[in-house]
A and B are shown apart, each in its own frame.
Chain A
Amino acid sequence: MSIAGLIERIGALVIDGITDLGDFVLFLIYSLLYIFLPPYKPRLWIRQIRIIGAESILLIGLIGAFTGMVLGLQGYNTLHRFGAAGALGTLVALALVRELGPVLAALMVAARAGSAMAAELGSMQATEQVDALTVMAINPVQYLVSPRMLAGIVSFPLLTTIFDVIGIYGGFVVGVGLMGASKGPYFSGIASNMDSHDIAIGLWKSLVFGVIVMWVCCYKGYNAERMATGVSRATTEAVVLSSVLILAFDYIIGAILI
């Protein structure tokens, strides 16, 4: 291939990439903006909060309990060697509230609700249901995506809080109940060593992750190629990209709010 041809190829790839990125960002802006513009659809909001939030509680509780139990076990083993088992409660709570709660809750909801959402929007696109909305003069981003975005923003911090609380009790059951750390310092350590800044970091993360998961999963579904393989690819890409962005932003937010 000639040099000019190569440059042309690379140029076309770069332009395509920038255009796609622009679409991706505009999609986020519009789906957030339309939450605040009429017509308001409380029914759709509540339905999505049920699907994304309420129906995830059991899973979140289960994962939260196991995560807390693992922290209780390993935390006790480590702290015990330094004679610092009294700090177990603080360790479990800080790890959950600042890191593991927001990240694991977001990953779980991305896998559960995000993938289903990408598949649903993708098949609606493939069967022209999205076009049907447009022809009826209904804005499909406002009708389909904004309620999910709102539900993500409402649900993620709440799910994360549930995850944290159950995790802290899971750590208590294993660390204090099974391993024999003393009971009193577990909760009093949390109360005296964790401040509102730690909680704020966790909540900010969960809020950002909520937006990321809804954004990525809706975008991938909404822009799926209009065929069965397009829908399955969109679903996979939605979960993979959400997970990568969750971990990347976990670091970024952690570094900014330290």
Chain B
Amino acid sequence: MATNASTSNGMPPNEIEVRDLCRRFGRQEVLRHLDLEIAQAQITTIVGPSGCGKTVLLKHLNLLLRPDSGTITIEGVEVTRLGNRALDAVREKFGMLFQAGALFDSMSVFDNVAFPLVEKTNLKSDEITARVNETLAAVGLDGMGDKYPSEMSGGMQKRAALARALVRRPRILMLDEPTTGLDPTRTGAIHELIRSTQKNFDLTVVMVSHDVPAVFQISDRVAFLNHGETHLHGTVEEVMAAEDAVFKRFLAGRAAGDDDGASLAG
């Protein structure tokens, strides 16, 4: 199997392994026997046409949804059948940046970022203040703690949401379209931030992105999803070199600004 081959080649071990994952909503099969490996301390980027199941896959990885069948192994623990309490223990390992940011709009940015520490740790309030300010600085938001999410631009909201995802120093960071809705300059800045954060905190990053091909510059590995299956999967070089008609068409459609990518059947 590909996994074994890559491990013996001196590749990093897998932080997350997905096997034969199936999930349907009503009659719609969204994930169809999906396999995927997420390598430790690398950035794995998931790309694919709109509606192909990227967000649904991510929501399975962070245990918001349960699969109909198949397994997900996180750091050697099979998580799909865990009870709620055990799930919460697994959840402590990761931070998540949602597609819509998901900042609590009733709280200031400082309180948003402090929230996971206040709720889930026993840190004292001066320790929390120090940690929050440090994390805000790391995402380039020093001194912005008093603002409310509604007073900030889209790019700043993403940074604040990233700070909240990072504040408990997770091992795994999941990002759902961190740059959607941002202009190219801001997109580049957020990409830089993701790369530097990954290095600084030695994170395993799983990212869903629409910014093809720009996002490949900061990615180590790429998974191309189509119709709920992993169509292509490998290092950026391997995937870009692959002679695959469907992937080529996806890239061409992206370059032409075709946001639906709906014409990928067959």
Contact = CB atoms under 8 A, between A and B. Distances in A.
Contacts of B120: 136-138
Interface string B34-68: 00000000000000000000000001001110000
Given A131-B64, A132-B96, A137 B91 contact: yes
Interface in B125-181: none
B91 A128 contact: no
Given A135-B64, A135-B91, A128 B98 contact: yes
Nearest to B103: A129
Given A138-B119, A138-B120, A131 B91 contact: no
Contacts of B98: 128, 131-132
A interface majority secondary structure: helix
A131 B96 CA distance: 10
B262 interface: no
A127 interface: yes
A115 B98 CA distance: 27
A136 B64 contact: no
B26 to A, nearest CB: 11
A134 interface: yes
Contacts of B108: none
A129 B88 contact: no
Contacts of A127: 100-102, 105
Interface string A116-159: 00000000001111011011111000000000000000000000
B153 to A, nearest CB: 17
B119 A128 contact: no
Nearest to B94: A135
B51 to A, nearest CB: 15
Nearest to A135: B96
Given A126-B100, A127-B101, A131-B102, 18 more contacts: A127-B100, A127-B102, A127-B105, A128-B99, A129-B105, A131-B59, A131-B64, A131-B98, A132-B96, A132-B98, A132-B104, A135-B62, A135-B63, A136-B115, A137-B87, A137-B88, A137-B92, A138-B119
27 contacts: A127-B100, A127-B102, A127-B105, A128-B98, A128-B101, A128-B102, A129-B103, A129-B104, A129-B105, A131-B59, A131-B64, A131-B98, A132-B102, A132-B104, A134-B64, A135-B62, A135-B63, A135-B94, A135-B96, A136-B91, A136-B116, A136-B119, A136-B120, A137-B88, A137-B91, A138-B119, A138-B120
